[in-house]
Chains A and B, each alone.
Chain A
Amino acid sequence: MSTSDDPTTQTVRTHSTEHVITAGADASQRTPTWKKVIRDPQAAITIGLLAAIFLIGALTPLIAPHGPNDADLSMVNAPVGTSGYLLGGDESGRDIFSRLLHSINTAAISALIGTTVALIVGVTGGLVGGYFNRATQSITEWTFALLMTLPGVLLLIILMPVTGGDYRATMFVFGFLLAPGIYRIVRNLVLGVKNELYVDAARVSGLGNVRILGRHVLSIVRGPIIIAAAFMAGSAIAVQSGLAFLGVGSTEIPSFGAMISSGFRNLYVAPAQFLWPSLLLGVITASLVLLGNALRDTLEGSKPKAKKVGAGQRVVADVERDGPTDPDALLVIRDLGIAYPGVDGAPNEVVRGVNLSLAPGDVLGLVGESGSGKTQTAFSTLGVLPSEAVITGGSIRFDGRELLGLDDTSMAALRGSAIAYIPQEPMSNLDPSFRVGSQLVEGLRAATSMPRKDAKARVIALLDRCGIVDPQRTFDAYPHEISGGMAQRVLIAGAVASRPKLLIADEPTTALDVTVQAEILDLLRDLQHELGMAVLLVTHNFGVVADICDRIAVMKEGEIVENGAAEEIFGAPRHEYTRMLLGSILDEDAVRTDPPAAVKGVAS
């Protein structure tokens, strides 16, 4: 089968209800990068400004009225506006304007040499150090560590006898000193990309190392390199100016640093002299920094924003505080709506009109596929929705009390003591820097203000109860020292420590092996009986629901489509979607029966 009209290649058409996401929403992401950059005003202005300055620099031989070192004794410290000496003369009678123009070129060459050397050395080092085996990695790592061990400026000064102070040689050396920064960026990106499955897939497809580096790795590294280049050009110019200011290098070379130095010596005689080169140097370096920032914003996308910690959930709707209460229910969610800002800023409702009710001691399974809004519903009950989320309406009533509109302090008082939470990923939900025990003790004391000693004893007893063999050792362990199954037991112990009335478990066994899952489900079932707590179990797994839940609510695209006793729904699902989901389960009857396929059209 090598061409499309090969008779053995028949199209396999499976009935597909998956819809292709409309291209409209993503069109903006496919604009070529350079267009995106040009459209950003900050990038456009700084690029324009830098282009204009360096163009003028390139035209210097044509437009400068004097040579950079032409001294005229009659023009010593000539004032601004002297004929032929637009910005006046300096301490040696040289034309400040002409020297300024020539200095642009010195700066441009410095930036060019420094950045180019840094890019060549850093990118090569980063690609080699990140992609190849461990021995190569340690060698490059050590070499670049060596480069970083001497303060750059000091090394440049010390090496004056070697470079002869020529600014081009100095910038060449400086390029090596800048290289570790680039090396770090590239190496980290490559290390990340190297473990991406698409690189493995490319290798399986028969691509060689060079091709993989060029095609798959370099394309990821390109953006960050361009950004870094802008910043490096700025620091190369700044360092060259600093060194020239110190007097490193030939006095014949016109540069901002040398001009500032000369103006600075003349500060009391002609205060304006140091101003011109400072101004131009400032404009160039500032433009490069601002350009780098603008490139970062457009190429790397928006970074997560800072938000107020403990601001509580945003509720836009008027919450009905004194609505009818159901005395038999512990948790009543009515008509809940949750929205996130969409691509164009318009709110995008991920939860719509959700109604749920949970009696004390009941176990309710909230089932749905990814993106159905089940986790959002659970988070809103805990009061821990992300700050971008907005509750657009409804009511969440816990133990007769309305939760929507409560501030974070009141919610914090409820959380941990009356409502508790078990997360999906055990490892990422423990603070890596604190011992397991101290995290649990802190939580328990926040909920109950128990003395530390009692809290510790209770936590150790709980760890023991949760099936941890050596509770004292786990208490003293750091999260990275325990296994995933163990970590989930720790999190369950943390959740039930203050005997909550309601436990919200968000896919508590999804990240675990199936044998560990069975043990954790046993533990949850036992604890639920012992403590008589209600459980809201969020899951996509009908097996887990069948194992532990009394009642089921099925969610689809933000809405609850079916709600009822577990036996009823498994026995006679009413809604078409529920039937479809149950029908998709690969049950014990679904054994493959057809024999191995006959071999046809074997690849030549």
Chain B
Amino acid sequence: MSLLELEDLRVSYPGRGFRARHVEVLHGVSLDVDHGETVGLVGESGSGKTTIGRAVLGLVRPSGGSIRFASQEISGLHGRARRGLASHIQVVFQDPYTSLNPSMTIGDILAEPLVVHGATSRDARSRVRSLLDQVGLPNDAIDRLPREFSGGQRQRVAIARALAPGPQLIVCDEPVSALDLSTQARVLDLFVDIQRETGVSYLFVSHDLGVVRHISHRVAVLYRGDLVETGDAATVTSTPEHPYTQRLLLAAPVADPARQREKREERKRLLAAHA
């Protein structure tokens, strides 16, 4: 039994203006995430990949289909019942600059989810220390404000916040796209290490095939609200079957002039063949 199961998930947003038509952004997506597994969700802007993550988190309401977490239907939950899921499903967002409240100290940011779930402030504080340790941040970070940290460090704080309640699933929404290349690799390694330590599952949303390939066990490719291809990471990201995935793979430039030249020619052949 998988930890997270999406079945025929549909989401539509209200159109602009009064009584405008609803625009469907997800046209029935089915996907599952197992215990301790990372499922990468790749797609370009407008593909609906972020919407899937937000639907799982309860930040957007699906218009159809089901979301089951640990065999329990969660798509219709709200209020107290939904808030109860907070200790099981967590999130790390893309932008390390806006995902932390600028006026709260790191200690308060990390303690907030713990205190909400009934921890005493002393327990919360000691837990915060161990969390900081876990993500490789110094202990004195606890009394500092987010603006005193670099992008990579803030993302570590965001990861610590997600880990705080000991979740089984973390939705990662482009968590390394805003980071520099060298920081990106280290933060990804941290994600992998934490998964090995704790057995947490990741639903890892990204536009970058390289990133997804690096962290995922399985990969799902989204195109304009439809899932076009799913499979194990190595296959989907190196020998994909669907033409869109092929195009995506060939469009990502590789850091080697000679290989990139070949790749470019191959891409042009593919485009000519499909034209």
Contacts and interface: CB of A to CB of B under 8 A. Distances in A.
A597 B199 contact: yes
A513 B247 CA distance: 12
Given A580-B182, A600-B199, A12 B193 contact: yes
Interface in A179-218: 196-198, 200-208, 211, 215-216
A515 B87 contact: no
Contacts of A16: 136, 186
B53 to A, nearest CB: 10
A544 interface: yes
B193 to A, nearest CB: 4
B34 interface: yes
Contacts of A205: 86, 90, 112-113, 116, 161, 164-165
B36 A201 contact: no
Given A546-B256, A596-B217, A197 B93 contact: yes
Contacts, number: 260
Interface stretch (A22-30, A156-164, A327-335, A418-426): A22-30
Contact of B95 (A14, A21, A197, A514): A197
Nearest to A2: B166
B192 to A, nearest CB: 7
B45 A513 contact: yes
B199 A570 contact: no
Given A216-B101, A592-B192, A18 B126 contact: no
Nearest to B113: A205
B183 interface: yes
A599 B59 contact: no
A484 B183 CA distance: 28
Interface stretch (A144-152, A268-276, A459-467, A582-590): A582-590
Contact of B144 (A23, A203, A601): A23
Contact of B166 (A4, A198, A484, A603): A603
A599 B88 CA distance: 14
B180 A370 contact: yes
B210 A596 contact: no
A31 interface: no
Contact of B136 (A8, A14, A484): A14
Interface in A548-604: 566-567, 570, 580-582, 584-588, 590-592, 594-603
B185 A586 contact: yes
B172 interface: no
A591 B235 CA distance: 10
Contact of A207 (B112, B185, B214, B257): B112
Contact of A12 (B94, B197, B250): B197
A590 to B, nearest CB: 5
B248 A603 contact: no
A311 B83 CA distance: 56
Contacts of B135: 12
Interface in A442-461: none
Nearest to A543: B253
Interface in B198-225: 198-201, 207-211, 213-217
Contact of A204 (B90, B98, B216): B90
B140 to A, nearest CB: 8
A98 B81 CA distance: 64
Contacts of A196: 98-99, 101
Nearest to B57: A204
Contacts of B127: 2-4
A204 B113 CA distance: 9
Interface residues of B, number: 109
B88 A603 contact: yes
A419 B87 CA distance: 56
A201 B100 CA distance: 8
B150 A21 contact: yes
A4 B130 contact: yes
A3 B131 CA distance: 10
Contact of B255 (A513, A543, A591, A596): A543
B229 to A, nearest CB: 15
Interface in B67-91: 83-91
A12 B258 CA distance: 38
B21 interface: no
Given A12-B197, A18-B153, A587 B84 contact: no
A521 B252 CA distance: 11
B142 interface: no
B255 A585 contact: yes
Interface of A: 1-4, 8-21, 23, 26, 29-30, 134, 196-198, 200-208, 211, 215-216, 219-220, 369-370, 484, 513-515, 517-518, 521-522, 540-547, 566-567, 570, 580-582, 584-588, 590-592, 594-603
Given A13-B136, A200-B59, A517-B251, 10 more contacts: A1-B198, A3-B123, A4-B130, A205-B161, A515-B44, A518-B250, A522-B264, A591-B233, A599-B35, A601-B166
Interface of B: 14, 34-38, 44-45, 57-59, 83-91, 93-95, 98-101, 103-104, 112-113, 116-117, 123, 126-127, 129-130, 133-136, 138, 141, 144-145, 147-153, 158, 161, 164-168, 180-186, 188-190, 192-201, 207-211, 213-217, 233-234, 237-238, 247-248, 250-260, 264, 267
24 contacts: A1-B166, A3-B130, A4-B130, A11-B134, A13-B136, A18-B152, A18-B183, A21-B149, A26-B148, A196-B98, A198-B101, A201-B100, A203-B59, A204-B86, A219-B103, A545-B255, A546-B259, A585-B181, A585-B255, A592-B213, A597-B37, A599-B35, A602-B199, A603-B166
